């Protein structure tokens, strides 16, 4: 089981998720998460809990779903 890391908010992320969070903050042009507004932080949180990184190709998160 991976070690959990608690950040400066109420969310608790695994090390992998914490790294994803940092990469998304950087992707949006910020050095620190405090530079981003609540809407962007909420979107980043959703991406992180779904294990999506800035390098995830658009639509790949849907690739496991079968579309007939």
Instruction: Report the pLDDT value the prediction gives residue 63, as an integer from 0 to 100.
Output: 52
Predicted TM-score (pTM) of the model is 0.71
For residues 14 and 17, give the distance between their C-alpha atoms in angstroms, rounded to a whole number.
5
pLDDT band at 1 (very low <50, low <70, confident <90, very high): very low
The pLDDT tens digits of the residues spanning 2-33 come to 444 444 555 689 999 999 999 999 999 999 99
The pLDDT-based confidence of 68 (bands split at 50, 70, 90) is very low
10/38: higher pLDDT: 38
With beta carbons less than 8 A apart as the criterion, state whether 43 and 20 touch.
no
């Amino acid at each position: 089981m991976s070690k959990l890391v608690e950040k400066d908010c109420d969310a608790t992320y695994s090390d992998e998720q914490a790294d994803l969070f940092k990469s998304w903050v950087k992707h949006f042009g910020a050095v620190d998460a405090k530079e981003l507004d609540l809407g962007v932080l909420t979107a980043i949180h959703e991406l992180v809990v779904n294990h999506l990184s800035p390098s995830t190709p658009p639509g790949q998160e849907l690739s496991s779903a079968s579309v007939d």
